[in-house]
């Protein structure tokens, strides 16, 4: 590369950094969304209190879900984030933007090294398009897209150092290639596709590299292969099997029940839709689950997509050995997407825009190179930095894509905004409609939630999550019998649906049918021994039956699993108190107060406990007063009266009794308090 072009590289790097950052800055104010809650907020592996070795060997998805995914780099990243800034999403969003910036610069560096010439156009144009493309929004704006970003960054760097080490380069380059390869595999399973690019070089589908000896190249490649198989063994140790992928549901991946012959064209059709959005990213779709996607081998689009995918790939394999830039890009794109296309085997989803993050780098290189080749064929001037006017169309397209990315990032602001958009652009998706209904339910908009969940049930009448939500809505409206019947019918067809058994147990608790509740919660615990909700339910049922000694170990285990869960601290403390362990009950209730729990029942019971033990009576009086303010309950007033008497404040107690009497509290209470006030001091 001549000096005139070389001096532009730092400036292009600055512009690339700005292009990668600016469209996504709005995400700094966004909340956690979708899978962020499970993988980051509720994952023991990301908890700073978990031993580091356990986090390192933790599956990507926390139990009970057996996804067959092992990604230690993202898990350790989330753990470090929770250590540094807690569960504040801004820090995680900032990290994703930084990773996207670094990936963009790494891609630019790789392309400059691969195709160094007098012209910067292919490397710069492809890198700018990669930096701003709206198809990347899901990977950047969704925090769990960190795995895509890490995998792309380490994969690109591994390819860069591997190619350098394959030519004549310092020995440390080989070590860097191995290190980046380890980190790429530990970021996401699909990184294994980079091996196919190396294979394409070695068998002559891409230009053979000269410079290093055959022996050194064999040493390099042997290390890469050994690392790959070593990671497979580590994965088998963590997950119990080398592959370990659990079969996805029909809702998550409508391709799951297709034979290989049927799945190939269906997967190719979905790939073509994603590739088209790379060319024309104006109608993006974050959800393509059932029945938004209904694969059929007879669809003309799928057959055309299969022929197109196969034809272009074979052409790239033939042209790649000639050193054509577009062929390298296409082979890189296909190789890095090979494990997520649902062709070799069905994965957890049939389509997701985040899965195009790494492959799009290769596809964009191919598209830019083909555009430049077409220009040469029609005798158009070659775009160079010396002909800046020819960059105007590229700059205009980059700016437009940046604006679209900014707009697309805004839909990831929170769950409600995201699922409203998903339900609008994917109206046939049962998951999109159900997810929207759940958000409306959380906001206590029952009419909107019922409308959305009915749409979901019209799409798939036996979808358990939608059925369960409808039962919750019916119960909230006072239609308990209807809710009970609905959840029973759901469990008859889906007996392993743990959440359904937990809800059924809750219904029985409300009906004071405690033995039935205990049975339902026990069934839920058998289905998922690691879940906390069945434990809380079993403890609640035992406590309702006054079987305190049997309730206590369940409360203890639930508290150990989730120390910050506020709703279990009050009943846990009650059980400790009933079991003759008042000091421990105080510790638990003080923990609840520190966490902001102001449940009037807990405040009253804690005040009574302190009164019994004649400890911290001033604090006890304050809690009792707060409980009375929250609820005009005779039991609460009784606690406060007795505390005032115990503290020698008879006048205040008498005033409280008169106020209670005038408010309509019966003589069975007020008479007792008057006797207390007139009794001689002990």
- Report yes or no: 58 and 68 within 8 Å, Cβ to Cβ: no
Q: 574 is written with which tokens?
A: 């009650």
Question: From CA 643, how far away is CA 621, in angstroms rounded?
Answer: 6
Angle at 672 between CA 666 and CA 673, to 5 degrees: 95
Question: What pLDDT is attached to residue 682?
Answer: 56
Domain segments of the chain: what residues?
A: 3-408, 598-682
Angle between helices 533-544 and 514-527 (to 10 degrees): 160
Q: What is the pLDDT of residue 298?
A: 55
Q: In this predicted structure, what is the pLDDT of residue 564? A: 76
pLDDT of res. 121: 80
Nearest of 513, 489, 517 to residue 505 by alpha carbon: 517
DSSP per-residue letters across 168-229 = S--HHHHHHHHHHHHHHHTT-GGGGGHHHHHHHHHTTSSPPP-SS-HHHHHHHHHHHHHHHH
Task: Give residue 248's pLDDT.
Answer: 82
Cα 294 to Cα 255, 257, 425, 453: the distances in Å are 8, 12, 16, 20
Question: Which of the four CATH numbers 2.30.30, 3.40.50, 1.25.40, 2.40.10 does domain 598-682 have?
Answer: 1.25.40
Structure-token pair, residue 242: 């080398």
Contact partners, residue 259, CB within 8 Å, separation at least 6: none
Residue 265 near residue 306, CB atoms below 8 Å = yes
> What is the rounded distance in angstroms from the CA atom of residue 648 to the CA atom of residue 259?
82
Query: pLDDT tens digits for 310-319?
Result: 999 999 998 8
Rounded to 5, what percent of the chain is helix, strand, coil? 70, 0, 30
SS3 at position 80? helix
* Residue written as token pair 């403890």: 539
Phi and psi at residue 381, in whole multiples of 5°? -60, 140
Q: State which residues of the chain have pLDDT below 70.
A: 1-5, 64-66, 116-119, 209-214, 244-245, 295-298, 379-390, 680-682
CA atoms within a 13 Å half-sphere pointing along the CA-CB vector of 656: 27
């Amino acid at each position: 590369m001549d000096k005139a072009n070389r001096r532009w590289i730092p400036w292009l790097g600055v512009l690339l950094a700005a292009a990668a950052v600016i469209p996504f800055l709005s995400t700094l104010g966004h909340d956690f969304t979708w899978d962020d809650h499970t993988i980051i907020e509720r994952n023991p592996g990301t908890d700073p209190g978990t031993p580091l070795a356990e986090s390192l060997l933790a599956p990507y998805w926390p139990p009970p879900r057996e996804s067959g995914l092992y990604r230690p780099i993202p898990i350790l990243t989330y753990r470090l984030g929770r250590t540094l800034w807690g569960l504040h999403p801004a820090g995680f969003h900032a990290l994703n933007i930084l990773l996207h910036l670094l990936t963009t610069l790494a891609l630019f560096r790789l392309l400059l090294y691969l195709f160094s010439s007098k012209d910067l156009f292919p490397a710069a144009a492809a890198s700018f398009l990669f930096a701003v493309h709206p198809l990347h929004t899901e990977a950047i704006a969704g925090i769990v897209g960190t795995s895509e970003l890490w995998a792309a960054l380490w994969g690109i760097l591994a390819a860069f150092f591997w190619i350098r080490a394959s030519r004549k380069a310092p020995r440390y380059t080989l070590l860097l290639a191995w290190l980046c390869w380890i980190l790429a595999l530990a970021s996401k399973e699909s990184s294994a596709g980079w091996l196919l690019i190396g294979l394409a070089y070695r068998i002559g589908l891409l230009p053979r590299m000269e410079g290093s000896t055959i022996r050194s190249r064999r040493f390099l490649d042997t290390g890469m292969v050994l690392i790959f198989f070593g990671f497979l063994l580590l994965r088998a140790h963590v997950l119990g099997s080398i592959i370990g992928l659990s079969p996805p549901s029909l809702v998550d991946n409508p391709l799951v029940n297709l034979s290989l012959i049927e799945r190939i064209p269906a997967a190719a059709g979905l790939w073509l839709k994603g590739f088209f959005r790379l060319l024309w990213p104006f109608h993006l779709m974050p959800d393509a689950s059932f029945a938004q996607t209904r694969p059929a081998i007879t669809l003309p689009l799928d057959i055309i997509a299969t022929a197109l995918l196969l034809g272009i790939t074979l052409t790239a394999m033939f042209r790649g050995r000639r050193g054509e830039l577009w062929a390298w890009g296409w082979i890189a794109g296909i190789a890095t997407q090979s494990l997520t296309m649902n062709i070799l085997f069905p994965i957890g989803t049939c389509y997701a825009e985040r899965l195009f993050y790494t492959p799009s780098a290769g596809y964009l290189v191919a598209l830019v190179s083909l555009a430049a080749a077409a220009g040469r064929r029609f005798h158009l001037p070659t775009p160079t930095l010396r002909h800046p006017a020819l960059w105007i169309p590229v700059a205009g397209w980059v700016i437009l894509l940046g604006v679209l990315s900014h707009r697309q990032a805004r839909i990831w602001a929170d769950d409600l905004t995201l699922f409203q958009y998903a339900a609008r652009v994917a109206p046939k998706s049962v998951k999109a409609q159900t997810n929207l209904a759940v958000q409306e339910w959380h906001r206590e908009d029952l009419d909107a939630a019922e409308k959305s969940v009915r749409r979901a049930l019209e799409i798939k009448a036996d979808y358990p999550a939608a059925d369960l939500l409808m039962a919750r809505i019916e119960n909230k409206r006072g239609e308990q019998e209807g809710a009970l019947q609905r959840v029973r019918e759901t469990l008859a067809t889906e007996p392993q649906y743990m959440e359904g058994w937990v809800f059924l147990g809750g219904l029985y608790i409300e009906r004071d049918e405690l033995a039935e509740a205990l049975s339902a919660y026990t069934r839920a615990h058998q289905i998922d021994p690691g879940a906390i909700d069945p434990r809380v339910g079993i403890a609640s049922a035992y406590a309702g039956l006054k079987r305190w000694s049997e309730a206590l170990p369940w409360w203890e285990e639930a508290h150990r699993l989730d120390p910050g869960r506020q709703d279990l601290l009050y009943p846990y403390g009650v059980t400790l108190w009933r079991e003759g362990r008042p000091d421990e009950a105080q510790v638990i209730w003080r923990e609840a107060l520190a966490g902001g729990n102001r449940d009037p029942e807990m405040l009253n019971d804690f005040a009574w406990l302190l009164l019994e033990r004649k400890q911290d009576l001033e604090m006890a009086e304050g809690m009792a007063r707060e409980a009375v303010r929250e609820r005009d309950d005779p039991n609460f007033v009784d606690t406060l009266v007795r505390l005032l008497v115990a503290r020698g404040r008879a006048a205040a107690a008498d005033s409280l009794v008169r106020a209670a009497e005038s408010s309509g509290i019966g003589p069975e209470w007020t008479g007792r308090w008057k006797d207390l006030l007139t009794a001689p001091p002990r």
